[in-house]
Amino acid sequence: MLFFRQYYLGCLSHASYLVGDSVTGKAVVVDPQRDVAQYLADAEAHGLTITHVLETHFHADFLSGHLELAERTGAVIGFGRAAEDKVQFPIQPYDDGDLIRLGEVVLQIRETPGHTPESISIVVYPHGEHGEPEGVLTGDTLFIGDVGRPDLLSAIGYTADELAVQLYHSLHDKLLTLPDHAKVWPAHGAGSACGKNLSTETVSTIGEQRRTNYALAPMTVDQFREAVTQGQSVAPLYFLFAATQNRQQRDLYEDAPVTMLTLEEVLAHQADGAVVVDAREDMVFAAGHLRGSVNVGLGGRFAEYAGEVMQPGTPIVLVCEPGTENEARTRLARIGFDRVLGALHDPVAAFVQHPEHVTQLSRLSVASLEERMRNIEGLVLVDIRNPGEVADTGTIPGAREIGLPALITRMGELDPAAPTVVFCAGGYRSAIASSLLRSHGFTDVSDLIGGYTAWSTAATPA
C-alpha cells in the first residue's frame, strides 16, 4: 500500500516528499530540506525504513539534506545519470526508465532536463509499473501554473536557450504523456525564484496543467523558449553557492543551541567583519537598532533575503526576539549560511543601556515622500521590486529599478551622499534595502511605508 506525505516549507516555498510501501516498509525521501528530523520521525512512526534519498536535480535555492539523511539512515543517494561525474560523494545514477521497487509501490525515473541538465521526474505507481500511475514528482521541471526557469546559474556551460529547448521536449515527451488524472507534485510553490508564475496550490494534475498552465499551451519550440525566458526575476545572490554546495561533500547540519552574546561581543564581531542581521519585525527595527545592522524579518522569507544581502561564508551575528534565535539559525542553515557566531542577549535591554550604539530607520509616508519629491533636489528613488512586478504595475515616476537581489552588487551605481528613498511592494523588502545601504555607508536613506501599494492607492499621487 502506498504511503505518501508532502512536506511544505513556506518560507522557502519548498516541497519535499516521503514515499513508501507500507507492506514492505521501504521508503524514499525526495528533495529533502537540510534539517531532516521530520522525515526520520514520520518514517519511524509508520514503520518505514528510508532506503533512498532521491534528488530531482542540483537545487539552487536551498541546501538539500541528502548527506544528512544518508549519514543518519545509510540510504543510497540517487540522481539522474547526468549528475554522475559532477558530485563529490557516492551516488546511484539513474537512467531514463529505471525502476525503484519498494514493494508493490514502484517508482519510475524519467529524465526531464531543461531547468537543469540533470533534472529527473519520478512517476509513482502504487500497484506496479504496469498499473495506473498515482502521480509524478516533477522537481523543478513542471510547477503548478509554471515550468522551471532555464536560465539559473546552476546549469553552468549551457545557455538558457539550449535548456529551454530541452525543457520543451521533457514536458511534451515525458510528462504530458501521463494520463490526465495523474497528480503533479512539484518541488516548489508560489514565491520561489525558480519560476515566475507559480501557484499557491501544492498539488495538481496533468490534465489541469494541460488546460491552465501558460507554458503548456500549444506553441512552437521558439514560442516556448521566448515565453519561459522572458520576465524572470533576478536570481538571489546565494543561488550559485547553494547549487555548488549541493554537489559537494560538506559539513553536516547540527541542531546546536545558538551562543548568546553580550553587546560588547557583538560589537567586536561586527568590527571584525561580521554582518549583524536583525531578524525582528521592520517596525520594531525602525524604532531602534544597532548601528550598521541589516534588517531581515524572521516573519518573511528570512533565509532567502538574508542570502541576498551578504556573500556566502560571511560571519553572522543575530539580533532576534528572545526565543527565536535557534529558528533563525536553522533557517540560515537551510541555504548553507552556517557561520552564525551567536545572538545578542536581550536586545531591548542592551539598547536601552547603550543608546550610543543605537539608531533609527527613516520611514516615509506617501505624503512625506511627495513633499520630498517637490522640495529636495537630486532625490534618488530606487524601486527594489522584481522586473515582473514593475512591468505589471508601473513604478513611481523617476525611480531607478534595481531589484533587491542585485542591490548589493549594483549599489556602486548610487551616490552614498545623495538623499535616497527605496520602496518595494509593501515595506518588508524596502526595510532590508534601506538598512543594507546604511550598513554600507549611505548617509541619507529612507523607505516608503506601505511601498508602491500605498503610493498607487493614495488619493492624490504625485
Q: So what's the architecture of 2-245 in CATH?
A: 4-Layer Sandwich (3.60)
Residue 232: name the closest of 309, 163, 307 by CA.
163
Average pLDDT, the chain: 93
User: Percentage of residues in the chain with pLDDT exceeding 90?
Assistant: 85
CATH fold of the domain at 362-457: Oxidized Rhodanese; domain 1 (3.40.250)
Residue 59: name the closest of 42, 73, 79, 40 by CA.
79
Q: Is residue 268 very low, low, confident or very high in pLDDT (cuts 50, 70, 90)?
A: very high
pLDDT at 292 over 90: yes
Q: Is residue 193 very low, low, confident or very high in pLDDT (cuts 50, 70, 90)?
A: low
Average pLDDT over residues 72-79: 98
Separation between Cα atoms, residue 79 and residue 20, nearest integer Å: 18
CATH superfamily of 260-359: Rhodanese-like domain (3.40.250.10)
The sheet with strand 294-295 has its strands ordered as: 260-261, 340-344, 316-319, 275-278, 294-295
Question: What letter would DSSP give residue 60?
Answer: S
Residue spans in the chain of domains classed CATH 3.40.250.10: 260-359, 362-457
Tell me: the pLDDT tens digits for 351-404? 999 999 999 999 999 999 999 999 999 999 999 998 888 988 999 999 999 999
pTM over 0.85: yes
- By the 10 Å C-beta count (0-12 exposed, 13-18 middle, 19+ buried), 197 is classed as middle
Separation between Cα atoms, residue 329 and residue 219, nearest integer Å: 45
Residue spans in the chain of domains classed CATH 3.60.15.10: 2-245
